[in-house]
Structure 1
Amino acid sequence: MSDEDAIAAVTKTLSGLILGALADVSGAGVDTKPLNELANGTRDKLVNIYLFQADVDGALRNADRLDLAPGETGDQPFPLVLHYLITPFVRHDPDLDAHRLLARAVRVLHGNAVLQRGELAAFAPESNVAKQLDRIRITWQPFGEKDIYSLWSAFQTPYRMSVAYEVSAVLIDSHRAPTAPVPVLKRGRNDEGPGVLAGVPLGLPALTAAVPPNNQPAVRLGEQVSLRGGGLSAQSAEVRLSHPLLPAPVVVPVAPGALTDNEARFIVGATGVPAGLWSVGLALTRQVIEGGVVRPIVAVTNEVPLAVAPRITHLPADVPQATDGSAVIDLTYTPAALPGQPVLLVFDGQAVPPDPPGTGAPRPADNPRFTVPHATKGRHLVRLRVAGVDSLLIDRSGARPSFDPTQSVTVI
């Protein structure tokens, strides 16, 4: 945290940065005078840094200290937002020379939007503000006509061209040391508290996650998914996949031997499962005996999310670059997007929508055409995004992850 010299340390650091930016201006300096005293100084050229207001950062006012371990308590630091007015002053030429000084000050503050710890320690070694955990940021502060009028009227001095910045947050620490109690080894007899055991209560079935193969973020058609949870034992089970654009769930039976008390495995079907984000649950059929009669009951688990990714089935290895620098990519994929599902081609880091329906001959949903602008020559990685889920660009089946070589094109 910061000590009581933190405000002065920030002002000195700003002054030092701006002074360095004025090194090529003969006789120029930096000052921190009130606005009505600018003309009384000894320098003919200077940039004045005036701290005209200090506010409290409301977002950090009640935040916990970052240097406290769990169970420790201490006074929160006082988070200050400092407002500075940057004013260039040239005694004999108040126009163009002053504008040049202002531009140098703005450039150096823009290039140092976050005050580095080394800068704070170098310009103000007397303060420990460089050691505070939160970084100190410099932000341009819009200054309206009313603000200008109010500020300069208060100093009863003619207006000079100025800009404002806010510097936040400067954390002023309390002198009171935090309390760090010794960890508790055992609760006393009269304060034992309830016993807690992690698990599924009363044997009710519950799912915790749907895990695609090879730690991938999504599953593709024909691949196996592992549903993990607890209390899943049953005579038989079926998976129920729900999609917001389908009127009814897709039901997939769980094969014998693929169901244990903690896991159910199933294969996503080759049809009827479009790409996108699904909800998946289990319906478990169990046998109960009532009055000497065996009858089945069905227990339904909660639902967990499952992403289904499209698979690019054909992608040209080489595409020519047009005279305007664009490249046209035709591809096919499965499963085809449902009406209303957005489709994008991610070309390296550029998202490209498919060509409009009126461009060229009508095309099926699983065979879109993309015109990539500014496609530079060379090899590019591509992904197909359907309803927010990307085709699997990274192959994680080996010892190390690698890019899928089939999901790249070369612009020639």
Structure 2
Amino acid sequence: MSDANAIEAVTEALVQLVLEGAREVESGAKVEARPPHETPGPSGDPQLNLFLYQIGIDESLRNEDPVGLRPGEHGDPQLPLVLHYLLTAYVPGGADTIAHRMLGGALRTLHEHPHLSRVRLRQVQSPSNVSEQSELIRLTWQSFAEKDIYSLWSAFQTSYRLTVAFEAGPVLIDSRRPPRTAVPVLRRGALDRGPEAAASVESPYPQLTAAVPVAVGPDGLEHEQASVKLGGRVVLRGANLDQANEVRLSHPLLAGPVSIPVVPGSAAEVRFELTGPPQAFPAGLWSVAAVSGTTATNEVSLAVAPEITSGMPMTVQRDGTAAVVRLACRPPVRTGQPVLLVLGSRSVLERRAVAAQPEDPVTGADLTFDVPDAPVGTHLARLRIGGVDSLLVDRTGPKPVFDATQTVTIS
């Protein structure tokens, strides 16, 4: 509970608190709240000046509901202010030691009172009920950099005096608009039982958790792969998938999705095969969703790998110290896809002989790579298109091994 007089009440309470600390060390000290440029004259009494120079918002309380609302009621949140103060000592004749003494007494008192008590707030003359607000008003030290001091005192257009800064908040001001209160509900449903809820973390709707490429090994079992090539099989895993009749695949370089029928399975798994014209499935990362009627699940990622269709293993003769490697692949490369040949741990960019035309997004399946300082020897070869490598590791056996056919020998 707090009204628009809250700022005035907090300032008055701080003046009283600072005055107590200053008079403990300087009996004739005074404390006022006024702009810094209105300094006392040369014959005035020693005094401390408290100046509210900025008001901010406590963002953590910006959208908190007002205190006292019941479920189903709505009201405007309180305005949570943070008040920024400057405390400056003024002593006639420039006696800085007296100024330092008063500041020391005031700061000690502020340190001993980390928040404004409700009792102190009730003792001020301002007709405010800020003392009844739910949050305590905390006092926090603020440090100033040289640029901050220069900016502030330049704005005041007066000579700089030793100043300390602190903030007080949150100061909560209530909205004058009353909360919106709905009429109580007499009965919830025909039997006054309300909605029924089941204690389960599982969603009743179809959802996907992963799209896993698999290959059948010599043992007749499916083995998980890092990516799928054209003609390969993919297992979709999730929940409530028994009604799925197709999958929808999307690629960032295609104008629209591609649909493929699924092989009926269980509620936890369904399968599909990546069959179709090669140009319809460019290599790279795809998004996959299962579709049941007009309902589609969430999307999961699927890596479609390029495949080297040239005769492998391959032998290339060096011309001096360089070599040229020519490969064919599928699916064909599309405009905008980066193409790399990785020989061992060394990558080589493709040489584009013909620039791709905007009206022809497919740039082709014949690739040429210039290998400067080509190392003599046999190297494991991977083709990387759209960030996905061709399948180099055979995972269909008891342990993963490199595919011995995917090599390029430079002689």
Q: Where on the TM-score scale, by shorter chain, does this alignment land: which range? A: 0.3 to 0.5
TM-score (structure 1 length as normaliser): 0.46
TM-score (structure 2 length as normaliser): 0.46
Computing the radius of gyration over CA atoms, which structure comes out larger, 1 or 2?
2
